[in-house]
Amino acid sequence: MGSRASTLLRDEELEEIKKETGFSHSQITRLYSRFTSLDKGENGTLSREDFQRIPELAINPLGDRIINAFFPEGEDQVNFRGFMRTLAHFRPIEDNEKSKDVNGPEPLNSRSNKLHFAFRLYDLDKDDKISRDELLQVLRMMVGVNISDEQLGSIADRTIQEADQDGDSAISFTEFVKMDNH
């Protein structure tokens, strides 16, 4: 028989994840069920193939990049902690959190961290800048074969022109945030 979710996830681990990500007890248990059901190899970690097995993710134009976001630098497996940490970026902000302590560590799902996540989808070489090439790559993934290279190039150029403020022909994180705000 398959592994039983609640017995394999130790209480201390659950508490730690709860503190770090802000998910509730029941949410974490359900997500652990989900994690184990995706883990076909039953070794406590997910590989890229495990993610690819989800049809709705496999047909997503940015599927590969999203999957990449789960894996730490240079690694091929992600454990449950890492899985939860990435998902925590998109946990809906609850009302009781809005009045929380402003001086505490920034919650994982703040607007700024969500923007970081999106920025990293573009910035493949992690140099904190979105170059023209990186922008083109993501654009190409989203449009497939339906737009010509020249047209795509001009879209990229125009976007960089609008966002770039320090004249380095690349988009930094601050410029990225500014673009999002209007």
Q: Which residues bind another protein (CB under 8 A)?
A: 1-2, 4-6, 25-27, 29-31, 33-34, 37-38, 51-63, 66, 87, 90, 92, 114, 117-118, 121-122, 138-139, 142-147, 151, 154-155, 158-159, 163, 171, 176, 179-180
Between CA 122 and CA 168 the distance in angstroms is 17
Nearest distance in Å: CB 19, another protein? 17
Element (H, E) at 24: none
Please list, in sequence order, all residues whose beta carbon lies within 8 angstroms of the beta carbon of residue 14, skipping any fewer than 6 positions away: 25, 28, 29
The least distance separating another protein from the CB of residue 140, rounded to whole angstroms, comes to 9
Which candidate, 99, 79, 96, places its Cα nearest to that of 17? 79
Alpha-helix runs per DSSP H in 22-148:
25-38, 48-52, 55-58, 63-70, 80-88, 95-98, 111-122, 132-143
**CB of 124 or CB of 155, closer to another protein:** 155
User: With respect to another protein, which residue has the nearer C-beta, 124 or 147?
Assistant: 147
Shortest approach of another protein to residue 102 CB, angstroms? 26
Return the number of the residue (66 or 102) whose C-beta is nearest another protein: 66
Compare residues 2 and 74 and give the one whose CB is closer to another protein: 2
